[in-house]
Amino acid sequence: MSEVIHLLVVDDHPLFRRGLISLLSQDERFSVLGEAGDIGEALRILENATPDVMLLDNHLPGVKGVDAIPSLKKSHESLRILMLTVSEDEDDLAKALQNGADGYLLKTSESDQLCDAIVKVAEGQSVVSPDMMTKLVSALRQPLVQDAKDNCLPVASPLQIIEQLSPREREIFLLIAQSLSNKKIARDLAIAETTVKIHIQHIFKKLELTSRVQIAVFAATHGLV
């Protein structure tokens, strides 16, 4: 990504927030537009600023980060949100992704890992801390298994689920599962990036998924990639 990525840092610990901003300011790929200690302050900043990526803590005063994601996304539809938190709770992870987070990273991550994650999220990819992947698989599997048990529904095979997609959507599904960005998918398939985005929305709707991370995990856990 050649353009500077504009950031908004939302965390209620001033020392951590300032240290993070200092770290990110040393990387020429980033420009920090502002900082906030809670969701209300973040929303006020968004009235006058248009960051590309928000680094969002979960345990904030008032409204938790995961609960605020829909309203933050609504204020700026193009905003990408990367959760940066100490929470290793499976429910927090699942709720963040269900509410539209574009990534979930632990604060214990190395600085290089954080910077790489920001770039990937800005490019339209999704990122989850490696330490959280097992919990992510569990979080995504459990509701499906529970629904089938409670409602006596047959559990569809992965191939039956994928057959709901058109041939082009299946192509894009598999490319997303390989962590390709929208731009790379468009280039590989010789179609417009806006067309890729439309296909992705159809995939989400047909498979009842809400994020690229869920696509990647679904494909990996069912041996589709």
Q: Which residues make Cβ contacts (< 8 Å) with residue 195, sequence separation at least 6?
A: 186
Looking at the fold, whether 119 and 9 belong to one and the same domain comes out as yes
Strand partners, 4: none
pLDDT on residue 49: 92
d(CA 98, CA 106): 18
- The pair of three-digit structure tokens given for residue 67, joined into one six-digit string: 């609960």
d(CA 72, CA 86): 21
Q: Provide the whole-model pTM.
A: 0.70
C-alpha 52, offset from chain centre: 13
Look at the chain and report how many structural domains it folds into: 2
Looking at the fold, whether 15 and 117 belong to one and the same domain comes out as yes
- The pair of three-digit structure tokens given for residue 30, joined into one six-digit string: 């980033």
- Is the residue at 142 inside a domain? no
Q: How many CA atoms lie within 13 A of 33 on its CB side?
A: 18
pLDDT on residue 132: 81
SS (H, E, C) 174-191: HHHHCCCCHHHHHHHHCC
pLDDT on residue 75: 86
CATH number at residue 169: 1.10.10.10
Residue 13: exposure state from Cβ atoms within 10 A (0-12, 13-18, ≥19): middle
* Of residues 120, 83, 138, the one with CA closest to residue 105: 83
- 27-41 burial, b at 16+ Cβ within 10 Å, e below that, comes to beebebbbbbbbbee
In order of 4, 34, 40, 42, 93, the CA distances from 47 in angstroms are 21, 12, 11, 9, 27
Task: Kindly give the confidence (pLDDT) of every residue in the chain, 225 residues in length, as a single tens digit, with 9 standing for 90 and above.
Answer: 458 999 999 999 999 999 999 999 999 999 999 999 999 999 999 999 999 999 999 999 999 999 999 999 888 878 999 999 998 888 888 888 888 898 999 998 899 999 999 999 998 888 888 778 777 666 655 544 444 444 433 445 666 777 888 999 999 998 888 878 888 899 999 999 899 989 988 988 888 776 777 777 777 667 776
pLDDT on residue 83: 95
Looking at the fold, whether 190 and 122 belong to one and the same domain comes out as no
What is the extent of the structural domain holding 118?
A: 5-129
Looking at the fold, whether 112 and 39 belong to one and the same domain comes out as yes
pLDDT on residue 40: 94
- Is the residue at 145 inside a domain? no
Contact 44, 70 (CB under 8 A): no
For tokens 């398939």, the residue is: 189
Looking at the fold, whether 165 and 58 belong to one and the same domain comes out as no
